[in-house]
Amino acid sequence: MTVVELGDNLDSCAKVPNLKAVEFSKDLRFGLQNGKRFGPITAAYKTFGKLNKARDNAVLVFPTLTATQQAASEKSNGTVFPGWWQEIVGEGKPIDTRKFFVVCADHFGGCYGSTGPSSTNPDTGKPFGLNFPGFFIKDMANVTMEFLRQIGITKLRAVVGASIGGLLSLELAALDNAFAEKAIVVGASHRVSATYLALNYIAREAIMLDPAWNSGNYYGAEFPERGLSIARQIGHVSYLNQLILERKFGRQPVNGNFKQHVSLGLQYQVESYLDYQGKKFCKRFDPNSYIYLSKAIDTFDLEKEFGSIENAFSGSPTEFSFITISSDNLFLPSDTKELHSKLAECGVRSAYNGINSPKGHDGLFLEHEKIAPIIRKALKE
């Protein structure tokens, strides 16, 4: 069984051409959920396709946790830059860039050009580090909506997101039910599972226990590669279903040579694979961004935020489409189905689509042949 290596796909689009940026809140007018005013804020983004004269064909695609703004493939100066969701976004694809004006921005708190912990603190001239304010999914969604207004978009044909992008899509739709006509949510729900909370905690601990992390003050010094690499390895195992790992690696030894002895080095192929993925990840992501973004994911709970799903969405004209992966242990299909049912109970249009797949949370990338027709149909209706 051949498994597409997700890490390779994301790493291959780490360099983003034709990146745009907009800055706002220079006067610190933007308020965070914790009550603090913050600014200036930079949103780094890419667009694909053209905005029509009516300005009503915009589709916002939220990136996943560590993906860049390069959602679609692109040729620039003779070089082809692959997209992390290129089977879904692009010319002739379900999110068709010949029809839609697609916008994809780096997360607030990220490290691909938007303001985050690695950005320069204007008060000190040094990276924020842990002086960056704590934030929630609500803050990230509000930053995104303000960024869209800054570039002249006040209405979306659709908001689309997978994993953390799905959380942000739900939050945006709850904060302003007139902002998006449709919300397409893949591999996400109104809350995260206890398993996801536990794994995020362990991943953060791995980063923070690396001596080089130095309480977040590693910029310009030794990079906490070991800690971030382990955090990525933890995440990578959680994204894949156990059956995938068994079929791909089993207990195969490194280089096909198995020796019956205790080894402190890499002894099995699965160990080598995880080591490789972890080291690659360190070349493109900031440890503090990983910590902040994972905490935002952990605290997401729409029922607690709004009091109930009915309070969040009752009367909303947004049409929701949910896509779940049967073997996803991070966002349980049962939770998403529960959210779908609650939306239907309060009169909101909602469709639930369960995909039978052994590919775990990574199915949102690897099952594009099954996901594509669902998204295409949702955008046509």
For every residue of 263-305, DSSP letters joined together read -SS--BHHHHHHHHHHHHHTTT--HHHHHHHHHHHHT-BHHHH
* DSSP string for 164-194: HHHHHHHHHHHH-TTSEEEEEEES--SB--H
Across the chain, which distance is largest between two alpha carbons, in Å? 69
For residue 163, indicate whether it is catalytic. Answer: yes
Please tell me which residue in 73, 163, 238, 350 is annotated as part of the active site: 163
Name the catalytic one among 328, 340, 350, 357.
328
Nearest in space to 14 (alpha carbons), one of 121, 110, 91? 110
Active site residue 335: no
- From the candidates 107, 236, 340, 361, give the one annotated as an active-site residue: 361
Give the whole-angstrom CA distance, residue 281 versus residue 283: 5
Output the CA torsion 246→250→255→258 (10° steps): 170
Torsion of CA 233, 62, 51, 84, to 10 degrees: 20
Known active-site residue 236: no
* Reduced DSSP (H G I as helix, E B as strand, rest coil) percent helix, strand, coil of the chain, to 5: 40, 20, 45
Write down the number of H helices and E strands in the chain.
13, 14
Alpha carbon distance 191, 131 (integer Å): 27
Pairing of the two strands 89-90 and 30-31: unpaired
Residues 6+ apart with CB under 8 A from 276: none
| Length of the chain as a residue count | 381
Catalytic residues: 163, 328, 361
